[in-house]
Structure 1
Amino acid sequence: MLTIDCPHCGPRPETEFGYGGQAHVAYPEDPFALSDEAWAQFLFYRDNPKGDFAERWVHSAGCRKWFNAVRDTRSYRISATYTLTDPRPATGTDPQNKGA
């Protein structure tokens, strides 16, 4: 079983967490101005990289707080977890990471 290090509670089993999708996706400034195509792009299209990927997770069976994690999509290994207010940490296997 995978152990996820909640930045609020510490390491816990994967079964206590829920996946929340890609992290750092900004909500549109004026969603009413978007076309149907642009709104669909925002809602349904996400990156699908091979390697490190920033994701949102919730500790649903613990503190119930949301946080971000950097997970390698090839190995499922989580290299970092951090609060929603912290910048994305640099990881060694992510060529696209610019620290935010």
Structure 2
Amino acid sequence: MLRLTCPYCGAAADETELTPGGEAHLTRHGPGSSDEAFEGYLFLRKNPYGVHFERWRHAHGCGKWFHAARDTRSLQVFGTYSAQVTRPPQDIIDRIAATHPGFDWEAGQ
């Protein structure tokens, strides 16, 4: 079972206490954007077999949204962090790189 720690209230919650929100760090496109950009925002998502950055909501806790970095192959969680940032904290990137040599956050985004 997937277990994540909410970075806001500190509670370790299993996935039944959380609501998934899909891929993290998306560029939002809405009214006024091109049809291609809006289509990409609505429908085109990564679904990697490996390192993935996701949005989660602590639904049965503090109710706040946060991001999690994890490996979809092994369910290894590299860390959780605020949803109000545009990139993962450096310590999480370093943890991923230690397990996945050659991992490059910039290349993956």
- Report the TM-score range of the alignment, normalised by the length of the smaller protein: 0.7 to 0.9
Percent of aligned pairs with the same amino acid: 41
For residue 79 of structure 1, what is the aligned residue in structure 2?
78
The amino acid across from 2:64 in the alignment is K
1:6-37 Cα deviation digits (max 9, x unpaired) = 11122122211010011000112x632312x4
SS in 2 for 1:43: helix
Q: Which runs of 4+ in 1 moved over 6 A?
A: none
Unaligned runs of 5+ in 2: none
Deviations 1:58-99 (A, max 9, x none): 00000000000001011122211001234403022272313x
TM-score by length of 1: 0.82
CA distance in 2, matches of 1:68, 1:75: 18
More helix by share: 2
State whether structure 2 residue 81 is matched by structure 1 residue 95.
no
TM-score by length of 2: 0.76
The answer to whether 1:32 aligns with 2:40 is no
Is the aligned partner of 1:43 residue 2:42? yes
